[in-house]
Structure 1
Amino acid sequence: MADLFDMPGDDASANAPRPLADRLRPKALDEVIGQEHLLGPDAPLGAMLAAGSLSSLVLWGPPGVGKTTIARLLADATDLHFVQISAIFTGVPELRKVFDAARMRRQNGKGTLLFVDEIHRFNKAQQDGFLPHMEDGTILLVGATTENPSFELNAALLSRSQVLVLERLSLADLERLAQRAEGEIGKPLPLTGEAREALLEMADGDGRALLNLVEQVAAWKADDKLDTEALTTRLMKRGANYDKSGDEHYNLISALHKSVRGSDPDAALYWFARMLQGGEDPRFLARRLTRMAVEDIGLADPQAQEICIGAWQAYERLGSPEGELALSQAVIYLALAPKSNAGYAAYKNAVAAAKKTGSEPPPKHILNAPTSLMKDIGYGEGYAYDHDAKDGFSGQNYFPDGMKRGVYYSPVDRGFERELKKRVDYFAKLRTRRQGS
């Protein structure tokens, strides 16, 4: 009797029609297209197999890059029984049956490679349930995830596994896959060169998506080769790999933020457009742009914050798509603005000093004295009214008594902060002169 969740073998269904992606599934690891950084002789998986010491793994990568195929072939290469489950459809009772079957199999001298698709979907308790079976050798776990394991998987599970990052397939990889598909079909695709490139780009690095597209194109009846316009008319482009709450969301906003900080308006616009095309809420982008103005530009260009707030308000009044144009102009302005994090650094320095000094009171001369008692104990005594002082600057101490004067704000010599730097230096000289006298 077949084990629960075992993948089907050769039976009467073997003669039934099979999708192209299934027919082209590699039979050996050296047939896998892409992922050479993992499968080469000196790469992690190649080295493990050569040494005969395969460990539990977490395969992290986008859809359609070979996670399931590699897991299956690893089981073949190590003579382990392959069992596949999905975290989406598997509960605790099913897991218990899987572990019981693996334990029985081990007693009979056969190991089990348990492949768990979408492993990040399991909760903490379910993930913890794998640990004893990994430790006693009942299973060798290979998990697959499209989400960042650092955020989605337990530290205990990660400590017992090696995380391997799979990359989206390059256009060269996809072309090799298309050629392999044409060999299986027995005829070339009826596409011009440009249309063929467009087909590869439609797959967006996903090999499974490409094979599905190839299967559709191969079924068309075409007397002549189809050009790009004819292709795009008949096919819908695959949606971009973007999850507004997932890892790709954070990757792209990081790319946008760093492009702005790096003063590259073209790159910044590209990532901004990528996020909008992926369905990102423009209000989130408006908020992040305003943060960039405060954090990375600051007082080097005080107008940057106003530009962002104005673009945000314009979006709220205009909506899409016109409002997105206002946000894109804010992106350009921020990228080209002079940069300074001096204000941001000054705030962090001041917060650190405030935590260190605790409850130190202000010096008495700058405290108000609305009652006679407060005057009697020295509140306000000796305060110099700055407007009465020469140059409108008294130079008095405003830090707690006994506390060494802190210097938190160090303006840069760029943009408007160049002028602020002159003012800081001017008041520093006056302060030294007044306190000295």
Structure 2
Amino acid sequence: MTTEDVKKVKDKEVRKQVVIPLLQHIGTVCEPIVDKKTDVLVGQKIGEGNDEFSVPVHSSTAGHVVAIEERPHPVCGSVPSVIIESNETNDTIEFKTSKNPSKEYIISALKDSGVVELNGYSLYNMLTSEKLIDTVLINLSFSGDVSSNCAPENITSIIEGMNLLIKASDAQQGAFIIQKDDRQLISAIESGLFEEADIEIFTVEQNYSPSMANLLTYEITGMQIPNTCTPLDAGVLLSSAGSALAVRKAVLEGIPQITVNVTVTGAVHNPGVKNVRIGTSIKEVIDSCGGYSGEPGKIIMNGIFSGTALSTDEVPVIKSTSHIIVQSSDEVLHEIPGPCIQCARCVDVCPANILPGRIASFADMGMHDECFKLHVNSCVECGLCVYVCPSSRHILQLIKYSKTVLQQLLKYEDEQRSSGCLSCDAPCLASTPFISNGGIL
């Protein structure tokens, strides 16, 4: 046996697997529609939602199903997942293309393709809600989304995605929201919009994460939105660069959401942007960037302030993954938090105008009823309170803990008004309203 033959045997023995969670959206876990040992193609539907909030899940690789079982999820503990072993052929289903789609075709394509926003909401459900949509906004101020998806070669596709959303929603106008100091992106969008009379550009001072959707809508439109509502209640469809690209691909090329662009930064040898198949492990993505440079101390998904610290690098990339940050063991802070000194810095920087330090103190004492009275659910989890705290208090972690406890205590009696998602071990990143005694809290 030659060296080449040995290499081929080893390659077969370690064929890559993808672990595709059946929960990548706001809603209930999808039901698998494939069985163990089933052969699947790239783009084939493998999971179907069973309520109005869920979206289908598709295979990102060609191969055969080796297991359907609980696997670690980057956000929700462990969820049922479909494990597929690649056959290395990249065979696909037949994708249906379109050059001039109608409104009905766009909506149907989004239903079948399973496109979700960075906060987990289904674009199809947003478009088919009974809310009247007047404006489509695409948030290009979130750094993780911009670095991953706003390369110069993607600008035209993002604008096409915006136009498809405007057509599908019957909106009268659209706008791109860009950070004021990002002159290169502003110039690129301006160049692409030279014939688009109904699409404008607005600039903002700060970085708006997906959880800050209501605050961003208020800054642009002047309409205040309570935390129990969404921008749709103000007639605004708020999307992202990654979703605009996914919309364009789903509608014009017929390709479901099976890949995402992910920026990898921090303690890796070759930081950069990678186009990653859904279900690929975080470790594989990091290995594609040359691996860890030194001993990793922490891995954070989707933002240094508002992101999620991962317990392991074996969790998969999901539809809402846009940024992976690796911190070395030397970079991870191990400071012992001190007492609150009543400086009110956390209050000064809080975009939701709540009292983060006071809420954290009540949460630390287990007084979650007091946290509720202080509007803990209005927290958008931006992380600014932690950044400015001179006592290094774990303010955001305590607020998230209180949200978790309240979520477990409150009863979801009106299922028609809740998302139906009860699978999270942590508070819903999309801040889905709590339901108690038939009313939104």
Regarding TM over 0.5, the answer is: no
- Higher strand share goes to which structure? 2
TM-score by length of 2: 0.27
Higher helix share: 1
- Structure with higher Rg: it is 1
TM-score scaled by length of structure 1: 0.27
